[in-house]
Amino acid sequence: ELARALGRLAKEGWRPRRTIMLADWDAEEFALTGSTEWGEEHLDELRDGLVVYLNVDASTSGSSFSASASGCLIPFIEEAIADVADPKTGRPILDVWRRGRRGGGVTALSSGAGRVEAIGSGSDHTVFLNLVGAPALDMTFDGDYGVYHSVYDDHYWVTHFGDPGLRYMTRMAEVWGRMAMRAASADVIPFDYARYGKEIGRYIGNLGDFADLKEARGAADDLTEAGRALRRIQRDPSRIEAMPAAGRARLNQAIVSAERALCDEKGLVDRPWFKHLIYACRYTYAALVLPGLTEAVEARDAAAARAREKVLAEALRRSAARLR
């Protein structure tokens, strides 16, 4: 449905500023093979130009919106679901989501109500987040999906139990399409690094008092401040309109490179394929935030914690510098 709608817009003359590519991956259940092989094959091109990856794995098994994402995408998600009506209540999905339930859950990525959670693995966004270093999200309309991966997971179950009338699948196309169009059409890419810096500061705070982590906290604050300066531009249409095209292009390239800067080409200890220093996964689907540092703290290894804090702080300062 999303492809049909975007195709109709294109036939009517709509042209985004950036390319929208739709992908339907094969072999997801076999070590994410289809998306991973394609991402590795096109790695240089993707690192140069990929703005964001919008993942929908299990679109709909109920009515509860759920999302996990890179921290810079949290307001982007909230703004999109504020503009789409929940079919049961007629209220914005954002309002229903904030009052909704937790639990149920299609996958381990499901966040439940009212909060965009940190993103882990278990679906096809993994190569784009952890190897390419692009912001990514995964979203679903969640429910009691007791037939997942069984012979009963069929059209009858969806149309009688999971989503009668396919109303929430339609809403997913609306949410997904708005996200794609906004990311592809905005004069200035609409990602919030002030929110990202705050989220990273919260992750650091959750590690407790095993290590001081003062350097990492200060670097997260630096990213927050650089993000606030960016938001002042993003929220000022007159300032954006006054920019020459080359200035907007440089600013957008800085926004793209700010996420890449949060990666370390050497990768994580024992897992060098995973380059991102903010998000990885445990040896399950579950999110592991600040993976190198968190693993050192959990192992009570003070020397490793100091070394990995330094690497993290350097990446945070590098990202802030790109924005400045």
- Give catalytic residue positions: 28
- Which residue, among 22, 49, 53, 43, has the nearest Cα to 126 in the 3D structure? 53
Q: How many CB atoms lie within 10 A of CB 8?
A: 10
Is 238 exposed, middle or buried, given 0-12, 13-18 or 19+ CB atoms closer than 10 A?
Answer: exposed
Residue type at position 266: K
SS3 230: helix
Contacts by 215-221, CB closer than 8 A, 24 or more apart: 215/309, 215/310, 215/313, 216/293, 216/309, 216/312, 216/313, 216/316, 218/313, 219/312, 219/313, 219/314, 219/316, 219/317, 219/320, 220/316, 221/197
Token pair in block for residue 272 = 């060098």
Token pair in block for residue 282 = 């445990």
Token pair in block for residue 97 = 């989501």
| H-run or E-run covering 188 | none
Token pair in block for residue 17 = 């500023």
